[in-house]
């Protein structure tokens, strides 16, 4: 498919900040893709709907900068309050290194495996005993809060509070303007959480760390170009919390919802656990927890025939690119037998590729295994009358709750 010439490209009636549209956009996205790769949309954005162009943009940080993210143009964010995803050179690379050290280094994934499995087993047990429950509030959400809490070295008793803080931050103005009514930056707007995390860093600096815990590893990581001050380490920890809780909750929720809605898939996964990784990739592809990413043109550029001025904000349509018919045969269908499962863009692409992807996949794998162990096919279903409601953030996709009820065993 090729893009029609620049000025002739009509504006499309799509608002990326309207969750009523973004959560139900599949037909609209298919229409976008038929029209071409790039189209102006509401709010002075252009939307990129094809896979090849979306990936090329994410790879070309020099032309399509992530700096600024969704913030108002020109707003300067101090490093201690930044999201690593919105950092550019030179500080991005060392900051990313610290986050990667925390989420992937020092054998952490190997150590996480038994902890994650024990957590998913423990959380599903009371739901199975009762025969009913909410797989988001009682399962997906606490799994992610306890795993990130474990990663940071928090006591388990504090993890519910961690989830609440993370949720409050995610829906607050802080992520856009870096302030709320309460104050500026994390320390002004969320002082309790900031003090909690800084207290952990200070304790570690005072010698309480084991040397092998996440904060010790961040402090000791060989990354030049970033001062290991308490606020900077707290920034890395916050990125793990905010990057790793709601997103993974949504992945687990979207996948469990698919399993409960598709009896054939439910049976296939129960009978062959080796299909679970493929199901995770298909869920990520068709229901990406992060629906789109925003970049800003650093210079005038032409993208498949459409002229973009310096400063133009570009919405990289992850959700649409993942269903691009040029890349995926039978693109709208959930198929665990695809040859090309992994190239979806749900963890991003290029310099900012998600540092928590292996941990998120591990959590999803364990969540599905524990669920299938206690709820074999035919033993649970979506509660009668259940209708999926999506979390309100327009750039994210995940169910608010998944009510299930157990079914009596069939002889
Ligand atoms: C299913 C779960 C997850 C999804 C869908 C997801 C999605 C993403 C995406 C799309 C990006 C790229 C952002 C961009 O290019 O602008 C990203 C970056 C990032 N993610 Fe994740 N993420 C998930 C889980 C996690 C976890 C578990 C952690 C932490 C343990 C994490 C930490 C980060 C960090 C720190 C970055 C910034 C990387 C950089 O800019 O260099 N994410 N994630």
Residue 274's contacts (CB-CB under 8 Å, 6 or more residues apart) are none
Closest Cα to atom 27, ligand 1: which residue?
Answer: 244
What tokens does 22 get?
């973004």
Q: Ligand 1 center to residue 174 CA distance, Å?
A: 18
Q: Interhelix angle for 230-244 vs 159-170, to 10°?
A: 90
What is the number of the ligand 1 atom nearest to the C-alpha of 144?
Answer: 27
What is the number of the ligand 1 atom nearest to the C-alpha of 69?
Answer: 16
Q: Give the Cα separation of 391 and 317 in Å (integer).
A: 19
**Domains of the chain, earliest start first:** 78-297+326-406 (1.10.630.10)
Which residue from 356, 391, 398 has its CB within 8 A of the most atoms of ligand 1, so it is best to mutate? 356
What is the number of the ligand 1 atom nearest to the C-alpha of 58?
Answer: 15
Find, among 293, 312, 302, the residue nearest to 86 by Cα: 293
* pLDDT tens digits, one per residue of 151-209: 999 999 999 999 999 999 999 999 999 999 999 999 999 999 999 999 999 999 988 77
- What is residue 7's predicted lDDT score, i.e. its pLDDT? 44
pLDDT < 70: residue spans in the chain: 1-8, 409-411
β-strand partners of 12? 41
Q: Give the Cα separation of 108 and 113 in Å (integer).
A: 9
> Given the structure tokens 């327009």, which residue do they identify?
394
Q: Ligand 1 center to residue 348 CA distance, Å?
A: 8
- What is residue 410's predicted lDDT score, i.e. its pLDDT? 61
Residue 332: Cβ within 10 Å count: 11
Q: Ligand 1 center to residue 178 CA distance, Å?
A: 20
Q: Ligand 1 center to residue 111 CA distance, Å?
A: 20
pTM of the model: 0.96
Q: Give the Cα separation of 285 and 326 in Å (integer).
A: 15
Sign of CA dihedral 11, 16, 21, 27: positive
- Residues constituting the chain: 411
- What is residue 73's predicted lDDT score, i.e. its pLDDT? 80
Q: Ligand 1 center to residue 101 CA distance, Å?
A: 14
Which residue from 354, 357, 360 has its CB within 8 A of the most atoms of ligand 1, so it is best to mutate? 354
Q: Ligand 1 center to residue 92 CA distance, Å?
A: 14
* pLDDT tens digits, one per residue of 64-122: 999 988 888 888 999 999 999 999 999 999 999 999 999 998 899 999 999 999 999 99
**DSSP classification of residue 67:** T
- What is residue 77's predicted lDDT score, i.e. its pLDDT? 93
- Ligand 1 site, CB within 6 A: 66, 84-85, 96, 99, 103, 239-240, 243-244, 247-248, 251, 289-290, 293, 346-348, 352, 354-356, 359-360
Q: Ligand 1 center to residue 397 CA distance, Å?
A: 14
């Amino acid at each position: 498919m090729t893009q029609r010439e620049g000025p002739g490209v009509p504006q499309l009636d799509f608002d990326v900040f309207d969750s009523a549209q973004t959560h139900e956009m599949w037909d609209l996205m298919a229409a976008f893709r038929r029209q071409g790769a790039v189209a102006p949309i509401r709010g002075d954005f252009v939307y990129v709907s094809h896979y090849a162009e979306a990936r090329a943009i994410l790879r070309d940080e020099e032309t399509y900068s992530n700096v600024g993210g969704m913030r108002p143009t020109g707003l300067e964010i101090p490093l201690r309050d930044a999201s690593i995803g919105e950092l550019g050179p030179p500080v991005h690379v060392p900051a990313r290194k610290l986050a990667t050290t925390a989420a992937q280094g020092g054998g952490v994934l190997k150590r996480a495996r038994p902890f994650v499995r024990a957590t998913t087993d423990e959380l599903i047990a009371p739901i199975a005993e009762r025969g009913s429950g909410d797989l988001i509030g009682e399962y997906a959400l606490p799994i992610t809060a306890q795993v990130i809490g474990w990663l940071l070295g928090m006591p388990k008793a504090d993890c519910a509070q961690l989830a609440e803080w993370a949720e409050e931050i995610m829906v607050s103005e802080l992520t856009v303007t870096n302030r709320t009514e309460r104050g500026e930056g994390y320390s002004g707007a969320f002082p309790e959480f900031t003090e909690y995390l800084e207290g952990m860093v200070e304790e570690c600096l005072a010698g309480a760390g084991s040397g092998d815990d996440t904060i010790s590893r961040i402090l000791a990581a060989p990354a030049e170009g970033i001062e290991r001050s308490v606020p900077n380490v707290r920034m890395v920890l916050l990125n793990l919390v905010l990057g790793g809780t709601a997103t993974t909750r949504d992945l687990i929720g979207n996948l469990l919802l698919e399993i409960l809605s598709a009896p054939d898939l439910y049976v296939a996964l129960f009978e062959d656990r080796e299909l679970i990784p493929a199901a995770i990739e298909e869920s990520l592809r068709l229901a990406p927890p992060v629906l789109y990413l925003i970049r800003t043109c650093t210079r005038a550029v032409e993208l498949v025939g459409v002229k973009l001025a310096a400063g133009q904000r570009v919405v990289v349509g992850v959700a649409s690119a993942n269903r691009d018919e040029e890349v995926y045969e039978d693109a709208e269908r959930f198929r665990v037998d695809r040859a090309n499962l992994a190239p979806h863009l749900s963890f991003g692409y290029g310099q900012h590729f998600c540092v928590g992807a292996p941990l998120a996949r591990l959590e999803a794998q364990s969540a599905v295994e524990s669920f299938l162990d206690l709820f074999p096919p035919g033993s649970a279903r979506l509660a009668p009358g259940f209708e999926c409601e999506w979390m309100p953030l327009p750039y994210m996709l995940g169910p608010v709750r998944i009510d299930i009820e157990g079914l009596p065993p069939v002889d």
